[in-house]
Amino acid sequence: MSELIARMAGSVGELPAAQWDALTDGGNPFMSHAFLSALEDSGSVGEGTGWLPAPLVIEDGVQLVAALPAYLKGHSQGEYVFDHSWADAWERAGGRYYPKLQIAAPFTPATGPRVLTRDPALAGPLLGFAAKFIEGNHLSSGHATFIEPAQTALFEQAGWLLRRDTQFHWHNRGYASFDDFLGALASRKRKSIRKEREAAQDGVTIRRLTGSDLRAEHWDAFWLFYQDTGARKWGQPYLTRVAFDLIGERMADRILLVLAFDGDQPIAGALNFIGSEALYGRYWGATQDRRFLHFELCYYQAIDAAIELGLARVEAGAQGQHKIARGYEPEETTSAHWIADPGFRSAVADFLERERQGVAVDAEWLAGTTPFRKGPVPNR
């Protein structure tokens, strides 16, 4: 058996695309070589962004056999799992919190695999290498965010601290159509959604674009929408204009762009990525304020598309309790954290235990507010 070598690569783009993608099951678009290298090649991550690519890999002398999509972070932006209070506490105590190691799909609060391996037996050694990398380079910590449920135990077994949070996902229970889905809701909620859709669609034309239907003018329009939303939410957009061109070139068949037109003029849009099991809602923006158009493009069109594509769920991004009234249900999400200093680790572990109790109480309450008819939701 060839000797295994663990190292930090300079970027995902420098690694062979076929070998990287062979480490995944191909179902999650955000772990693909095409997506991660597009972020690098577009300048969305890299020098000056606070996201310096640092993939940790294991090779057998011939090819990749395991990898972590990792970054050296100079801040805590674009992660959607907030550790600002940890950074403040550690720096007030005289420590240096940044840089830290972030294992994630940048700017993407969507669940997915974070430990990429040909052989599951390599998960432990890979995470062990990550811990040694953190400590050997005097980093404060490592963080893996939005880990798919099947991989949570890998991090726990490797001694990483787990943190829980809540997102809102729509689940396809075998619905044949949007009306079929509405039939599972309480009458008042069903009527409310129908009114919202009618109001949102009044005077506009909505188009869903994917594959070869995507053209440069569509990305030009969406860039304007994205800039507006990014400036309001984050101060400046995370992605560069070139990123949309590269994503469109490299993975057009995994993109669903929903645009609303007033005549021939696009006025709003929502960008989704298509996985093997889920539709992932990512970005939204508009140049006109139309009542309920946000709900229509981001939530209802996504449900429509997921039913048509036979997908099991829609992940509509971070936060937003307003999604519950639109048929999205609370779902637990998990992040994992390696804290190098024993005293700091103990303090974080205590914080996580107390936070976990509050998250569980909130999740239980949220589960009781969904718009579905009382009693078990029927399978179809």
Indicate if 99 and 202 belong to the same structural domain.
Answer: no
For residue 218, the tally of other CB atoms under 10 A from its CB is 18
Tell me what pLDDT residue 310 has. Answer: 98
Residue 357 Cα to chain centre, angstroms: 24
**pLDDT tens across 153-205, in order?**
999 999 999 999 999 999 999 999 999 999 999 999 999 999 999 999 999 99
Indicate if 283 and 139 belong to the same structural domain.
Answer: no
Q: Is the pLDDT of residue 59 over 80?
A: yes
C-alpha–C-alpha distance, residues 277 and 273, integer Å: 11
Tell me what pLDDT residue 262 has. Answer: 97
Q: Write the DSSP string, 37-61.
A: HHHHHTTSSBTTTTEEE--EEEE-S
Q: Is the pLDDT of residue 282 over 60?
A: yes
For residue 280, the tally of other CB atoms under 10 A from its CB is 27
C-alpha–C-alpha distance, residues 158 and 363, integer Å: 27
Global pTM value = 0.94
Q: What's the CATH code of the domain at 194? A: 3.40.630.30
For residue 297, the tally of other CB atoms under 10 A from its CB is 28
Residue 92 lies in a domain: yes
Task: With cut-offs at 50, 70 and 90, classify the pLDDT of residue 228.
Answer: confident
Q: Is the pLDDT of residue 378 over 60?
A: no
What's the whole-number average pLDDT of the chain? 94
Calculate the alpha carbon distances from 378 to 133, 175, 185 in Å.
49, 10, 11
Q: Is the pLDDT of residue 12 over 80?
A: yes
**pLDDT tens across 292-340, in order?**
999 999 999 999 999 999 999 999 988 788 999 999 999 999 999 999 9
Do residues 130 and 340 make contact, with C-beta atoms less than 8 angstroms apart? Answer: no
Indicate if 183 and 193 belong to the same structural domain.
Answer: yes
Indicate if 291 and 335 belong to the same structural domain.
Answer: no
What is the tally of structural domains in the chain? 2
Q: Is the pLDDT of residue 230 over 90?
A: no
User: Can you tell me whether residue 336 is helix, strand or coil?
Assistant: strand
Tell me what pLDDT residue 307 has. Answer: 98
Minimal CA–CA distance to 9: which of 38, 40, 34? 40
Tell me what pLDDT residue 369 has. Answer: 92
Residues of the domain holding 183: 169-330
Residue 379 lies in a domain: no
Indicate if 20 and 135 belong to the same structural domain.
Answer: yes
Indicate if 138 and 22 belong to the same structural domain.
Answer: yes
Average pLDDT of the residues in 16-38:
96
Q: What angle do CA 94, 100, 103 make, to 5 degrees?
A: 155
Residue 30 lies in a domain: yes
Average pLDDT of the residues in 117-146:
97
